[in-house]
Chains A and B, each alone.
Chain A
Amino acid sequence: MPEHLTRRGDGRLITMTGKQIKDDLELGSKDAAERAKIPELTGEDLETLYEIIIDANKVVAVKHGCEVVLSADAGGSTFWIDSGTSGLGMPIERSIAQGALSERVLGLDILQFPESDGSFKPAKVIVSYLANVIHNTLHTSISPLEFMAMPNLGYFYKPDGQWPEPISLIREGKNDEARKSMEGAARECHDAIIYVAKHLRRVGVDGINIDTVGAAGDPDFYAALTATESLKKVYPDLAVQMGMATEAVHGFHTELKYAGERLAGMWPHQQLKVAEKAGVDIFGPVINTKPHLTFPWNLSRAVTFTKACVREATIPVHPNMGMGVGGVPMLETPPLDTVTRANKAMIEIAGVDGI
């Protein structure tokens, strides 16, 4: 049986037979379906996915008319940030990187202006600087522009913040104290998001992208949802995009609810529904790549989760598809053959509105 060149989830080149690929596609989809209690990919979906994987061309693309909106995570910060986030470390002025270069070179349809550290708490401190640079970017760019940062609840706990570190409290059996700490941190994070958004709204930013949501578990997600709800009440003209951190919301607090729904343990299609209720305009599910398993297994799994999310959506869905998410290998320089295959599969099988 002929062998096909493909990759592992860490990006390493491997060869697989057609049967091995088909088996992994089925297993990947089954894994997602069993975990989230969602439908597996259909036989037709799996066949399409197989054809995408074994395509002899290094780079593949969607059919004419199937193109989607790109709001790619952090956008032009690729030019100037460090290698820890796959950046190039180039000496380049930020308004040019996030504006003109993003829309004219990278082809991004929705521009993202990230805080250097990536979190709302430090953004508060430099909000005047951010407002100035975003103001300049808005004057020179044409595409819609969002400010982007993470709730990153970890910054609100000691030693960086004022709230007791909850995991240590849980280890000591002090669950009530841990929950109070998480609730306090979530309130403070909510306020930080509102503070930053208020200042950037004044210079005319189009939206706020609350990204990597849930990285610190269910209180992190709770902070993002409540901040979205508050923003929509005060600034209905300010768009909110929400990108997640993981496929399942980790239960650190475990009792937090939003709109009557328990947040801990939510899967992408469930995260989407509470995000919609909060007023989110574009939702970005995240499906984590398992580096030790194959690219076909990971992509099939990611497409299964995302398809279920898209099917239930009333708002645009832009899955995160950077390194290590959305079926893309966990590698600082994701191979183009995998990026383009994952892109085509998400668009033509999962039916996403953007990436």
Chain B
Amino acid sequence: MPIGHLVAGGIGSIRTSGDLIGRMQLQKKMRLPEAKDYVAKKLGVSSIELCDEFTMRKLREKLDIGVITGLPGAAKGLEAKVRIAELLGIKINCVERLEKLSKV
């Protein structure tokens, strides 16, 4: 069933920019237009391009914020989130924890 929603009206998570927009909703209570606008400005793309695989696949690789395919050497998981926190100008709890633990 989630796939039905994805096909009909989903942004596409890390396939495009859904994780970034979702994060602004969850962490900053942003309504959808505001969250899309915020992320689009940070990425330098239009709101249509936010959900476009052609644009976002290349851009995510260039920014090294995690891509959906198994690209060798690309940032994965927590590595990608460190870069996303900086890109979006927000704090991410597990990144904060990593930074705290890495200050030996």
Contacts and interface: CB of A to CB of B under 8 A. Distances in A.
A143 interface: yes
B47 A103 contact: no
Contact of A104 (B8, B14, B23): B14
Given A205-B93, A313-B31, A316-B31, A282 B3 contact: no
Contacts of B32: 68-69, 316, 352-354
Interface residues of A, number: 63
Contacts of A219: none
17 contacts: A64-B48, A64-B51, A67-B51, A69-B11, A71-B26, A104-B68, A204-B92, A204-B95, A204-B96, A206-B26, A282-B25, A282-B29, A315-B31, A340-B4, A340-B7, A354-B25, A355-B10
Nearest to A134: B94
A144 B93 CA distance: 10
A92 interface: no
A149 to B, nearest CB: 17
B73 interface: no
A139 B78 contact: yes
B44 to A, nearest CB: 17
Contacts of A205: 93-94
A207 to B, nearest CB: 6
Contact of B18 (A70, A75, A241): A70
A323 B4 CA distance: 12
A97 B5 CA distance: 18
B92 A107 contact: no
B31 A107 contact: no
Nearest to A239: B26
A65 interface: yes
Nearest to A64: B48
B24 to A, nearest CB: 9
B94 A204 contact: yes
A142 B8 contact: no
Nearest to B22: A109
B6 interface: yes
A108 interface: yes
A110 interface: yes
**9 smallest beta-carbon distances between A and B, as pairs:** A204-B94, A109-B18, A109-B22, A339-B4, A143-B19, A340-B8, A107-B6, A343-B8, A353-B32
Interface of A: 59-62, 64-72, 75, 78, 86, 102-104, 106-110, 138-144, 146, 201, 203-207, 237-239, 241, 281-282, 313-316, 321-323, 328, 334, 336, 339-340, 343-344, 347, 352-355
A135 B79 CA distance: 14
Contacts of A141: 77
A71 B15 contact: no
B41 interface: no
Contacts of A67: 9-12, 18, 51
Given A64-B51, A69-B18, A109 B66 contact: no
Given A107-B18, A323-B1, A138 B94 contact: yes
B13 A104 contact: yes
Nearest to A105: B3
B59 to A, nearest CB: 14
A180 B71 CA distance: 58
Nearest to A204: B94
B52 to A, nearest CB: 9
A103 B2 contact: no
Nearest to B100: A204
Contacts of B92: 144, 204, 206
